[in-house]
Structure 1
């Protein structure tokens, strides 16, 4: 006789505590089978020593250890196409409902719709919940119901709504005894899904009252390394966004909180305007005649442009999977405006390398620096990669760390002249958008 269960499907929420969908599942009238699916449609596009896959697997192992030790339960780990896995689960269990937290990216929306159709055909409920954001979809919109396209009014309403509405926490950690009792569940190693343990690991995050209070004063200086490293943990849900927003809102200085609001702004933009996953928000910018010089693109990727701050950022990214936010703006602007290389190529490279890669923020920020997105920098705003050093790395500490040879004869000469590149950019952009 098949066991009667409800399923909770972990995705971007790899934690046992304050997990909305997990909480709702554990509050149901059936034991809960927690599962995770390594989706082959996603994994097939990644290098076989991807730090993010290692990070996911390590967190799953840590969660499994708690469930095994404390409750004689587990998380079933699968590898394959979600539809195939669910067909197997339907054969193995009597399932009343599948619970999960919502994801807003185009692929995830299509996948979930597909799974919902499959489950509904077997009279199984598919229940989804808000978990990775404070406000989602149409919760922060203009009075006429349309989406905000400018960050500042969005953030004002976001803050007003946050103050007006008490945030609810979901103590799923208190209901873990309601998970299914079984040690005989699928449990896959990294090697079993075709991956190896990454040598470079995702960094632990640091969010202290001092870091939050000092964030505005220190965040623009890459050598100080005073950023939180929170990105990957929010991306994969190893920390509750409710907890982080709650901590940030306690401080008088709200700069850190506004960074979390930017994350939700870009998520809503992608949800309201899914075409921006591939196309510019402002269509006329897709008329730009990019040069897309392959040699120059490779030099940018490798950190060999001859501009030390640009190169430092790219080398930091390649070595660690992280790049300081101030430097991200510079290297993005340099690629699009100095080298006239399509923002999509830079976005794809960041998607491959960044440990904190999140489609909505990555696309939103790349379109911002290219001038083609919502609330974007005007196309004639072109960062000077030399004067940026004076502003943000005056003692060259960051450059010395990542480009130690920058004053040596072996260091390459600039691949483009700043003044000539700026004039070319203005000419090409103006021709496209006029």
Structure 2
């Protein structure tokens, strides 16, 4: 039985859910088809987005060659920031407006894909920058209509941004991350080529891989879609609808794949099977959370990353100091799932089993604790930092961390139980050290 602290199923609540999944192509060698795909979408003048590192490696060259072979006019924007900021989004938007493009192709991690989404939006529907940014940091104005076609080609196994309508950035002045969310921002095609991650260092695989797992576990343990009011014309279903039978399919399989292959992919760079499986898990998790939503670990992560520009993570030595997104998320996850486990015990236990935990003779009431323990064991096995204290945070930082998390109500409302300011203080304290 669901704990009484969970969001209740409403007698007159929603009885259905909406699925708007992205089109997807998956397999080694798919980047060679980017040109024909772009041409089929009506693209003629194409903005090709990437970052300075990806611009120098083979996957980017494969995409560029394919676009040119299809006879398309291609302009390259290779200044996407890793962990983008409001300033880097604005620079990309200026490039997009000046270029008068009829289509976009992004080759890179979630930062590149999100930058292309934002550039496409502001070039198609010009507005003040904060107009479309989520409340309370922005106006939360709805995107007025479709944007130009976008093919997203991920080169990391984590964000799932190729399947979602969300673009995340670091609001430097506010010292917190936030984003823009709209169904219109979802790329028209996710072109997923696992060969793109063959050269990723172990630290990057670990960070992005744990982003996969937290996406999937959060969407599987999210509040039920039936706990929301029935939609009407004035209040349609939100992009994040809560856990539902369709999102459960992708989230559980992504958790299984992550539990089976993440440690292998991190610890053996030659394990092609593991990296292919992790890439597929990332896309499955993206499809799931783009529909059901994510909750507490992601809400907590935005201030963890936004307040710290001094940390250098393993595998990110060539980037500016920052907390990579996957690390900022997963370091909150064990504490968060211990907290939410009492609201949806069966779902937490199911997730723990999918992740590889031994659950024989385990009571559902212990599902959150077992899930947290399995995550911590995987974090240790892949050399992740030991909690927020390893990033340099301490008790004195908790009030500011909480303030940033409280601004993420769009995510916190997806949690399976209500989250108060006091709850967040306790969660950040619990996340400081795990072993």
Q: State the TM-score bracket (shorter-chain normalisation).
A: 0.3 to 0.5
State which structure, 1 or 2, has the greater radius of gyration over its C-alpha atoms. Answer: 1
